[in-house]
Chains A and B, each alone.
Chain A
Amino acid sequence: MAVLKLKSGSTRCRHWLRHLGAGLLGLALAGLVSPAVRAETALSAEYQLKAVFLFNFAQFVEWPAQAFPDPKAPLVIGVLGKDPFGPYLDDLVSGEKIGDRALVIRRYSRPEDLAGCHILFISRSEARNLETIVARLKEQSVLTVSDADTFTRQGGMVRFVMENGKIRLRINVDAAKSGHLSISSKVLRPDTLATPGKD
C-alpha cells in the first residue's frame, strides 16, 4: 500500500539517470586524454583585458578625416607614462587593420610629444598631471583613456572602472564630442555613460 503510483515515471527516470551517469563517466575519461593547455602570461588579466578594450575602441570610434595625414595612414594607439602592457599590446594589434589603416603602438614619456596619436592610454604614473595633459589635447581628436579615479571629471573621455573584479567603462560624452569623435552605440550606452555621481 505504500507503493508509489509514479512507477512509469520513476522507471523512466532511473534509465535516464543511468544513461546520464554513464555519459558523465565517459566524458570524464575523455577529458583525461585531452591535455590541459594553458598559456602562462606575466601580464595581469586586468591589463590584458584593458589592452583588448583599447583595440576595441579603434574599431568603434570614428575620427574626423583631418586626424590622419592620408586615407591609408596608420591609426596610432599611444601609451603615456609607465607602460603597464608590455609586448602584449603590440602582439594584440600586430597584423590587425581597421579598413585600410594598420594599427601602430607608440610609447610616450612627455605630453609634448603626443602629435599624431589617436587613442591615448594615460598611465597611473601620470595621475598628477592629468589636467595638464587633458588641457593640452583639448579639441584635438585624441580618444583619451585612463584608469585614474577622477579622469572623466577632469575632462578625460574614457575611464576604466573596476566593479566586483570586472572592468566597466565610464565615457564622458561631452569631452568626446569636443574632440569631434563619434563613438559607436555598441560602446556608448546608458550603462557606460559617465554621469554625475557615476563618473
Chain B
Amino acid sequence: MNAPRSHGRWKGGVGFLAGLAGPFFAIVLSAQTVAPLPPPTTLKKMSLDELMDLQVTSVSKRPEKLSETASAIQLITDEDIRRAGATSLPEALRLASNLEVAQVDSRQWAITARGFNNVFADKMLVLVDGRSVYTPLYAGVYWDVQQTMLADVDRIEVISGPGATQWGANAVNGVINVTTKSAKDTQGGLIIAGAGSELKESGEARYGGKLGSNLYYRVYAAYSDRGDSVRPNGRSSGDQWRSGQAGFRLDYDAGAANGLTLQGDGYTGTMNQFGPGNIKTNGSNLLGRWTHQVEDNSDLKLQAYYDRTHRSIPGSFTQDLTTFDLDFQHRRPLGPANDLVWGLGYRFVQDDVINTPANAFLPASIGRASYSAFFQDEIALSKDRLHLTLGSKVEHNDYTGYEFEPSVRLAWHPDQKQTFWGAISRAIRTPSRIDRDLYSPAVPPYRVTGGGHVVSEKLFAYEAGYRVQLDPQLSLSVATFLNNYDDLRSLTPLNPPQAFPVENSSGLRGRSSGAELTAEWQVTGKWRLHAGWTELRVRSEPQSGTVDRPTRDSIARDPNHQVFLRSLLNISASWECDVTMRGIGPIPMSAVPSYTEADLRLGWHPRPAWEFSLLGQNLLHDQHPEFNSPGTRRELQRALYGKASWRF
C-alpha cells in the first residue's frame, strides 16, 4: 500500500537529485587559500553597515557567513528588535517573514514555519541559548513563559526547513535559535520602563560588571503586566496576565582558546482565565557551557543544563517538568577539504502531572531518557565555490526506538555575490505525551483514548534557494521547498460511524510546498527597507486504510500568502521612525479572514544614554482576529505603548 506514495515522492525527487549530482561529478577540485575581502574599489563603495558585517577573523563556531549557508535562514538582529519596538519574543519573531506568527489571545501564540500552525505548533524547535524550550508534554512552546530580556538578545536565527541532522527530533519545519549577548557585551546599567494600553506596564533593569580580568557578569530582572484580548463582540475575554523574570549570566572569556558561560533564569506568572481559577506558572533553569579552541579551525563545546517548569491550569491539569540535558560537540578538519562536526547528546525528562476529572495523562508520572549522536561533514569540492554537506543524526527515544535524520546540502557560490543552494533531508517529530498518554475524561469510558501506537511523524524535504547581492545596497533571496509528510497524528473513531470514542493514531499524510522571498534595500544611508513574501500550500489526507474524521479538516490552518514590508528611517542623528506592515491571507479552515496591519515606532535619543520611544501596534483596526474559529476566537486591539530607557 505504500508503493504509490513512495513512487510519487521519488519521482518528484529524481530531477532534483540529478541537478544536485551534476555539479558533484562535473566539478574539478581546486585548492584555494583564505577567503579574501572584496577589492578596495568595492570596499570603498560599501555602506558602514556592510563594512561592519564583514567577517575578518574566524569566530570559534563555523566562520560561515549567513549569505553562504545552504538553508533558508533569516537573521533578526538586536537592532531589528529595538527598531521594531517588540515587547515580547513572539512579537520579535514577526520580523522573520519565513514564519507564520499568529497571536491567539493575550498570551498564546501560534508560531511555525512551513505550515501546520497551531497554539502547539509541534514541528518547530525553539532554543534559547542552546536550551530547548519545546515542551514534551504538549509538543510545542509555551510562549507566555519565554521572557528573555530583549535588550540583551544578540540575535535570533530563524531557519525554515528541517534542521534535524544538527538539532535532532522536532526540528521538522524549522528551528528558532535565540542567542543572548555575552556578559562582556552588556557591561553597565540599563533601566527600561514603559506603559501602554495592552502592555499596561513593564519594567526591566540590568546591570553588568567585571569580577576579574576576564570574568564578566550581568544580572537582570523584568516585570510585565499585560491586558486582555477581546471576543469578536468587543467584550473582554478576561485573560489579562502578569509575570516576572530574573536571571544572571557569567562569562569567562580568556581569548578564543577557552570560554566558560554559566547562566540561569527564574520566572513566575499569573494568567487570568475564564473559569475555575488563575493559571499559575513558575520555572527556573541553569546552564553551563565550556568552549575550547583546540586549533585555529578545531573546537570543542560541552554544555549541560537543568530546566524546571511548573504550570497549573485549574480545571485541566498541573504539570511539573524537569529536564536534564548534556551536549558535546567537536569540530575538526579532516585533510584540507573536509570540515567535520560530530556530537553526542543525552537528555532525561521527568514529567509529573496532577490530573483532573476532565482529562488525564496516564501514567501521571513518567521519566524518559533519550540519547543521540550526529556527524556532519562539509566538503569543499571547490574551495570558496562549491560546498557539499553530508550528515545524519541517530537518536534513541523510549517511544519509538532508533530514529535517523540524514541530510545532504549543496551550496555553490559562482562569485562572492551569489549563492545557489539545494538540500534533501529527512526529519522526524517523535511522539509526545499528548500523542500517547492523554485520556479524556480521566476514567473510562473514554471519549479520547491515548495512542499507544502513535509513531514518529516523518518528513522528507526537498529545498532549493538562491541569494544574491545585486549591489552593495540591495540583496535578494528566495527559498523554495516541497515537503512530504507521513504518519501525521490523527484521531481514529473506534466505533465508526460514531464520531466518538476516538483514539490518537498516526493516520495522515501531508504535502506542502511554497516559496519564501526576501529583499533588503539600503535606499540611502538613513533609510533601509525590508520586504518579505511567503507563499504556502498545505494539504493532508488519510493514509491508506485509515478512517480519519475529526483531524482531517483541521490539521492545516495556514494562510496561503503573507507579505511584509518594513521601513527603518533615521530622520536625524537623534530621531528614528520605523514602520512595519504585514498582510496575511485568510485561513479558510478556521474561517479567519485575511488582514493587513501596521505598527509604527518613533524613537528619540536626546542624549546617547537616553532613548524614548512611542509605539503603535495593530493600528489599522480597532480589533482583528489572527487565529481560531469564531466560537473560541479572541481578537487583538489596537495598542499604544510608550517606553523610556536609560544606560549608565
Contacts and interface: CB of A to CB of B under 8 A. Distances in A.
Interface of A: 1-6, 9-10, 13-14, 17-25, 27-32, 34, 36, 38-41, 44-46, 48-49, 52-53, 55-56, 88, 91-92, 96, 162-169, 173, 184-191, 193-198
Contact of B23 (A13, A28, A36): A28
Contacts of B17: 21
B40 A91 contact: yes
A28 B56 contact: no
A187 B52 CA distance: 11
B544 A1 contact: yes
B40 A198 contact: no
Contacts of A29: 26
The 8 A-B pairs of least Cβ separation, nearest first, read: A197-B188, A21-B19, A18-B15, A28-B23, A25-B22, A2-B544, A197-B187, A185-B573
Contacts of B420: 24, 27
B497 to A, nearest CB: 18
Contacts of B422: 20, 24
B448 to A, nearest CB: 27
Interface stretch (B122-130, B299-307, B605-613, B623-631): B605-613
A195 B646 CA distance: 11
Contacts of B573: 185, 188-189
Contacts of A184: 525
Interface string B1-20: 11111001001110111111
28 contacts: A2-B2, A2-B4, A3-B4, A9-B513, A10-B8, A13-B12, A17-B15, A17-B462, A19-B15, A21-B18, A28-B22, A31-B386, A31-B414, A45-B56, A49-B37, A91-B40, A92-B40, A165-B56, A165-B59, A166-B56, A167-B51, A168-B52, A184-B525, A186-B48, A187-B48, A188-B573, A196-B647, A197-B187
Given A21-B17, A44-B56, A96-B44, 4 more contacts: A4-B8, A48-B56, A195-B647, A197-B648
B22 A48 contact: no
A153 B179 CA distance: 29
Contacts of A25: 18-19, 22-23, 26
Nearest to B570: A185
Contacts of B608: 173, 190, 193-195
B55 A48 contact: no
Nearest to A91: B40
B363 interface: no
Given A4-B541, A45-B36, A48-B43, A162 B22 contact: no
A1 B546 CA distance: 11
B414 A185 contact: no
A189 B568 CA distance: 13
B33 interface: yes
Contact of B26 (A28, A41, A168): A28
A176 to B, nearest CB: 12
A92 B37 CA distance: 14
Nearest to A7: B8
Interface in B163-191: 185-189
Contacts of A5: 539, 541
Interface string B489-523: 00000000000000000000101010000000000
A17 B16 contact: yes
A96 B79 CA distance: 33
Contact of B385 (A31, A165, A190): A31
Contacts of A27: 412, 414, 420
B57 to A, nearest CB: 4
Contacts of A185: 525-526, 570, 572-573
Nearest to A191: B79
Interface residues of B, number: 80
A144 to B, nearest CB: 18
Contact of B537 (A1, A9, A38): A9
Contacts of A52: 40, 43-44, 46, 51
Interface string B133-167: 00000000000000000000000000000000000
Contacts of B5: 2, 4
Contacts of A193: 608
A9 B483 CA distance: 12
B385 A53 contact: no
B11 A49 contact: no
Query: Chain B interface mostly helix, strand, loop or mixed?
Result: mixed
Interface centre among A1, A5, A9, A165 (most CB of B within 10 A): A165
A163 B185 contact: yes
Contact of A30 (B2, B11, B58, B414): B414
A55 B1 CA distance: 69
Contacts of A41: 36
Interface string B254-281: 0000000000000000000000000000
Nearest to A193: B608
Interface centre among A46, A55, A190 (most CB of B within 10 A): A190
B39 interface: yes
A14 B57 contact: no
Interface centre among A18, A28, A41, A194 (most CB of B within 10 A): A28
A189 B49 CA distance: 11
B81 interface: no
Nearest to A46: B56
Given A17-B462, A31-B414, A196-B647, A56 B56 contact: no
Contacts of B189: 197
A20 to B, nearest CB: 6
Contacts of B30: 36
A24 B56 contact: no
Contacts of B54: 45, 49, 166-167
A193 B188 CA distance: 14
Contacts of A48: 37, 40, 43, 56
Given A21-B22, A165-B57, A195-B608, A186 B647 contact: no
A17 B482 contact: yes
Interface string B519-551: 000000110000000000101010110000000
Contacts of B36: 38-41, 45
A162 B59 CA distance: 11
B32 A36 contact: yes
A45 B82 CA distance: 30
A163 B18 CA distance: 41
Contact of B51 (A22, A38, A53, A164): A53
A197 to B, nearest CB: 2
Nearest to A23: B19
Nearest to B647: A195
A186 B462 contact: no
Contact of A164 (B23, B39, B59, B464): B59
A198 B22 contact: no
B544 to A, nearest CB: 4
B33 A28 contact: no
Given A52-B40, A186-B526, A32 B26 contact: yes
Interface centre among B5, B46, B51, B56 (most CB of A within 10 A): B56
Contact of B539 (A6, A19, A39): A6
Contacts of B16: 17-18, 20-21
Contacts of B26: 25, 28-29, 32
A82 B290 CA distance: 36
A42 B384 CA distance: 19
Interface in B408-445: 412, 414, 420, 422
A166 B414 contact: no
